[in-house]
A and B are shown apart, each in its own frame.
Chain A
Amino acid sequence: MTECGKDTLRDQLPLLARDALAAEAAARVRAHVAGCAACAAELAVLERAGALFTAVTPAVDTAAILRALPTPPGARPVLTVQRGGRRQARIPQYVLAAAASLVLVATLALPTIRSVFNGGPVVVVDSGIPSVPTVPVDLVGGANLSDLGVDELTALLAELDRFDGTVAVEPVAMRQAVNGDFGGDL
């Protein structure tokens, strides 16, 4: 059996026809083809067929392909993937907004609470929320919360609850009111 009969060189013919063999391998196959009529005929067919296929292939618009491709993952923000393939939960935007509002309300309410504990004037801000019956709470003279009765604590909590909604006044006006400057229109 000849070498080409064992397909060792014959298998290289398509690569030789496409000029895709390294120089050394190409020379070895060409040397064989020069002395083998069967492989020479086969190589001629392969070269013709390859040229034929190339001739009927239209040019491809690679720029259009690139435009159609998706953006690389590394070029856009990605969600962190935890081990085990679970995605980290994203905090919804409305929750963030609610949390920010809560912080703002708490900040605005702080001077009022201090005022209550220091015996200063209690500022009632018209926030549009229905008012609740108030019980005078007197913490003057160093009294603390433990000195208050149930009714007084309930009244105090009710007062604080009034600030859970959206504040209807500007922070500056609120500050002036707390500091005793009632020059503004409250």
Chain B
Amino acid sequence: MTLPATSTPATDAELIARWLSGDQRAAGELVQRHAGPLARFAASLGVRDEVDELVQDTFVRAFQSLDSFRSDSALRTWLFTILKRLLLDRKRAERRRRDVAELDERDAATEYDALDTLVGDETAARIRGAVNGLTPLQREVFTLRVNEGMAYAEIAEVVGSTEGACRVHYHNALRAIKERLSDD
């Protein structure tokens, strides 16, 4: 009796090592694995037309310094962190162009209208309204938890907070959404 052949997908660390030794295909696997989640994160943060460009810039930035990447941190976490920094840089540059002083939470909240494009069903619309009412930090924590199933420690690394604080932000976000849904 022969056992079916099983192939375990290569880990991120293995793919990075392969790419560093000259295997371009390893980059393809890494991009396929992480592009979708990065795009989802960007979209959930309010990016609309530039998702593609932002995700591409994130990968380019990451691969340019991949040889210095320390694998004690997850590649996924690192990529999300890069994307978030790039996004903040863009927002700051945009604000400078518009001659507006500071990036504050109200600005970020009003920019979060990517979900406006979805008018599918009533529950989705109510969730959209509820998510729009979250603070930016709550929204980041909530989307990373819901979209990617990230652990709080990993989320803390991306958003620059503590694990405990992220847990609180998530539960506050969830409670706010539930209350908003029950009010409607």
Residues of A within 8 A of B (CB): 14-15, 17-18, 20, 41-42, 45-46, 48-62, 64-66, 68-75
Contact = CB atoms under 8 A, between A and B. Distances in A.
Nearest to B60: A68
Contacts of B146: 14, 17-18, 46, 49-50, 53
B51 to A, nearest CB: 5
Given A45-B177, A60-B35, A53 B147 contact: yes
B40 interface: yes
Nearest to B58: A65
A60 B32 CA distance: 10
Nearest to B116: A56
A54 B124 CA distance: 12
Interface in B13-55: 19-24, 26-28, 31-32, 35-36, 38-40, 43-44, 51-52, 55
Contacts of A41: 178
B64 interface: yes
A56 B32 contact: no
Given A49-B131, A72-B27, A74-B22, A54 B40 contact: yes
A60 B51 contact: yes
Most central of A20, A45, A59, A61 by chain B CB within 10 Å: A45
B67 interface: yes
A62 B31 contact: yes
A70 B60 contact: yes
Nearest to B120: A55
Chain A interface, >50% SS class: helix
B92 interface: no
Interface string B78-100: 00000000000000000000000
B160 interface: no
Contacts of A20: 149
Given A14-B149, A54-B40, A65-B35, A48 B55 contact: no
Contacts of A55: 118, 120, 124
A165 B37 CA distance: 67
B108 interface: no
Contacts of A74: 19-23
Contacts of B24: 71-72, 75
A141 B143 CA distance: 99
Given A72-B24, A74-B22, A62 B35 contact: yes
Given A18-B148, A64-B52, 4 more contacts: A45-B174, A57-B36, A57-B43, A68-B56
Contacts of B181: 45
Most central of B60, B67, B148, B149 by chain A CB within 10 Å: B149
A69 B30 CA distance: 12
Interface in B125-178: 127-128, 131, 142-143, 145-149, 174, 177-178
A68 B27 CA distance: 11
A53 B23 contact: no
B174 A42 contact: yes
B21 A60 contact: no
Contacts of A71: 24
Given A53-B44, A56-B114, A56-B117, A73 B22 contact: yes
